[in-house]
Amino acid sequence: MSITGLFDLSGRVALVTGSSAGIGLALAQGLGRAGATVVLNGRRADLVASAAQKLRDEGLKAAEMPFDVTDSAAVRAAVERIEASIGPIDILIDNAGMQRRAPLEDYPEETWRELMTINVDSVFYVGQAVARRMIPRGRGKIINICSVQSELGRPSIAPYTATKGAVKMLNKGMAIDWGKHGLQVNGIGPGYFKTELNQALVDDKAFSDWLIARTPSRRWGELEDLVGAGVFLASDASNFVNGQILYVDGGVTASL
């Protein structure tokens, strides 16, 4: 196979959760440009439809499947619909997640539960539902979106770091249990990226100056910086890569 062929995703179906905007949409767009048919997901059907149309306007193959990733029954039903109407899922990117900041001593119990449900339970629900289809076929790529906070902490986000640490270890467990069936399960650990969710931090000059000085690459991440990692882990180029997390962080996790 040629080098370019290793990264070709033509004919493959990719489900990307939480992909109506931000990192999820950027990764879906990247997989689409590599040839995959991408299935976009989110809770709000209107936002998912708008994102899918944006990709179709670019000439990419995009479908939409709005469902709640925290509802296990809805997840199973959606996976069944995708496989029946679009095709077998070859690639899953588990991206859906959220952040809630507060001092740990004041952190509301209900917010803790919300964060755990969205950031951890959903990875289990979607990963399991898709893997059950991939295992009989003897192939599949699962990419779990972790974070630099899978390794590092920051004030006021202890529950978030707990969820992303859990995803890191669930990623390893999936690789261990499902590797023998021909699946590769890996993670991407984004650093600080310019997204809608981080706009307040981008606009905070003191924080932005601190982050840029703290980052060996001396800049914020741009969404396109994640695309190569996503295509690599979704493609045949990573067929013997399993249970790993690729940190796309400008070197933050390498530096004190």
* pLDDT tens string 130-177: 999 999 999 999 999 999 999 999 999 999 999 999 999 999 999 999
26 within some domain: yes
pTM, full prediction:
0.96
Contacts of 250 (CB under 8 A, 6+ apart): 191, 215, 216, 217, 218, 219, 221
Residue 203 forms part of a structural domain: yes
CATH of the domain at 30: 3.40.50.720
DSSP 120-186: IIHHHHHHHHHHHHHHHHT-EEEEEE--GGGT---TT-HHHHHHHHHHHHHHHHHHHHHGGGTEEEE
Q: For residue 254, is it within any domain? A: no
The pLDDT assigned to 256 comes to: 81
Instruction: Please indicate, yes or no, if residue 255 is contained in any of the structural domains.
Output: no
The one catalytic residue among 107, 125, 160, 247: 160
Say whether 160 is catalytic. Answer: yes
Mean pLDDT, range 89-112, rounded to an integer = 96
> How does pLDDT run across 4-57, given as a tens digit for each residue?
999 999 999 999 999 999 999 999 999 999 999 999 999 999 999 999 999 999
Could you tell me if residue 256 is inside a domain? no
Question: What is the model's pLDDT at position 221?
Answer: 97
Residue 193 lies in a domain: yes
Give tens-digit pLDDT for 79-89. 999 999 999 99
Q: Is 44 inside any structural domain? A: yes
* Burial (CB count within 10 angstroms: exposed 0-12, middle 13-18, buried 19+), residue 47: middle
Q: Which domain holds residue 217?
A: 3-249
- For residue 139, which of 31, 43, 35, 234 has the smallest C-alpha distance? 234
Whether 186 maps to a domain, the answer reads yes
Q: What's residue 198's pLDDT?
A: 86
User: Can you tell me the mean pLDDT for 114-126?
Assistant: 98
Give the burial class of 84: count Cβ atoms within 10 A of its Cβ; 0-12 exposed, 13-18 middle, 19 or more buried: exposed
Domain count, the chain: 1
